[in-house]
């Protein structure tokens, strides 16, 4: 389980770092007061991405741990590759969600991001717990095979 959560957080962090670099240095998608100060804007986004990685990764780890405890899935772990790609997907969708939220509802951009954090944590935890169920079913052997 730890490996899956660490890969999830790594996927979030690395993808956010890449998307922040692209948005600042290529698209110049920064606040109006940061135009021309690209390195400062990128540094601010890096601080935000660390916080985003910790909040989403910690939330997913806690909620997944609680669900696994509640559903008695302790001996089974989600696949690491799934967790990595889930982290990448969460970050890519966050950038698109943020961009759409700022263009459609500029006054509600912060509330939109808060809602996204909750949705991303719950959705990611559900996907990881569902994969735990799949892993449990793969490891269970039918009794019919051992009956004489």
**pLDDT in the model for residue 143:** 56
Percent of the chain with pLDDT over 90: 41
- Copy the structure tokens of residue 106: 């500029």
Q: Is the pLDDT of residue 69 over 50?
A: yes
Q: Rounded to whole angstroms, how far apart are CA atoms 112 and 49? A: 17
Pick the closest to residue 87 from 114, 60, 50, 62 (CA basis): 60
- CB contact set of 27 (below 8 Å; sequence gap of 6+): none
pLDDT, tens digit (0-9, with 9 covering 90-100), for 5-37 = 999 999 999 999 998 888 888 877 677 777 878
* Exposed/middle/buried for residue 13 (C-beta within 10 Å: 0-12, 13-18, 19+): buried
| pTM summary value | 0.83
Higher pLDDT, 40 or 91: 91
Q: Rounded to whole angstroms, how far apart are CA atoms 133 and 116? A: 26
pLDDT, tens digit (0-9, with 9 covering 90-100), for 107-133 = 887 888 889 999 999 999 999 999 988
Pick the closest to residue 79 from 136, 120, 122 (CA basis): 136
**pLDDT in the model for residue 144:** 43
**pLDDT in the model for residue 65:** 92
Phi, psi of 71 (to 5 degrees): -95, 5
């Amino acid at each position: 389980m730890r490996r899956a959560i660490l890969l999830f957080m790594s996927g979030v962090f690395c993808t956010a770092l890449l998307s922040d670099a692209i948005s600042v240095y290529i698209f110049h998608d920064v606040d109006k007061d940061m135009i021309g100060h690209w390195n400062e804007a990128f540094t601010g986004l890096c601080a935000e991405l660390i916080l985003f990685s910790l909040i989403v990764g910690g939330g997913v780890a806690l909620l997944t741990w609680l669900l696994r405890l509640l559903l008695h899935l302790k001996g089974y772990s989600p696949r690491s590759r799934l967790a990595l790609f889930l982290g990448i997907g969460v970050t890519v969708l966050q950038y698109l969600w943020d961009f759409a939220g700022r263009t459609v509802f500029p006054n509600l951009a912060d509330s939109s991001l808060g809602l996204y954090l909750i949705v991303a944590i719950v959705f990611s935890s559900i996907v990881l717990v569902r994969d735990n169920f799949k892993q449990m079913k793969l490891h269970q052997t039918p009794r019919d095979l051992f009956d004489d």
